[in-house]
Structure 1
Amino acid sequence: METTAEYTCAYCGEPNLTFIDLSAGGQQSYVEDCQVCCRPNILYIRVDEETLEIEIDTEYEG
């Protein structure tokens, strides 16, 4: 099951939309390029498995 969530780019501060695979577990991390400045962000995703509430933290890659 997939859903979308918004995160803020660690470089330019612009909001971005990403797809979250809810079946991949409660804690996930991966790299995704910003849709505005094209720089790579490391996304740390936490999914509350009861409420399916999503929290995303970002940091610079490198």
Structure 2
Amino acid sequence: MLDTILLTCPHCGETFETVADPSAGDAEYVEDCYVCCRPITVRLRVGGDGELDGYDADRDD
């Protein structure tokens, strides 16, 4: 199941909506900002119940 999350770009400060897939457990991936196109490292934290517990978005540089 996909969850909708809000990311705030650490480069330009804009907030945008994207989807996250917690079904594989904790994950880290790079997604480009929809506004400034710069890379963002997204880290998902998934609980033992398979639900998304939280996420972080940091600069990828």
TM-score normalized by the length of structure 2: 0.80
* Deviation digits for residues 5-56 of structure 1 (CA, Å, limit 9, x no counterpart): 111101011112121112111x111000001111000011112343824422
TM-score normalized by the length of structure 1: 0.79
Gaps of 5+ in 2: none
Would you say the 8 A contact 1:46–1:55 is kept in 2? yes
Q: CA RMSD in A?
A: 1.7
State how many pairs are aligned. Answer: 61
Gaps of 5+ in 1: none
Question: Where does structure 1 differ by over 6 angstroms across 4 or more consecutive aligned residues?
Answer: none
Structure 1 residues 49 and 5 mapped into 2: Cα distance closer, same or farther (>3 Å)? farther
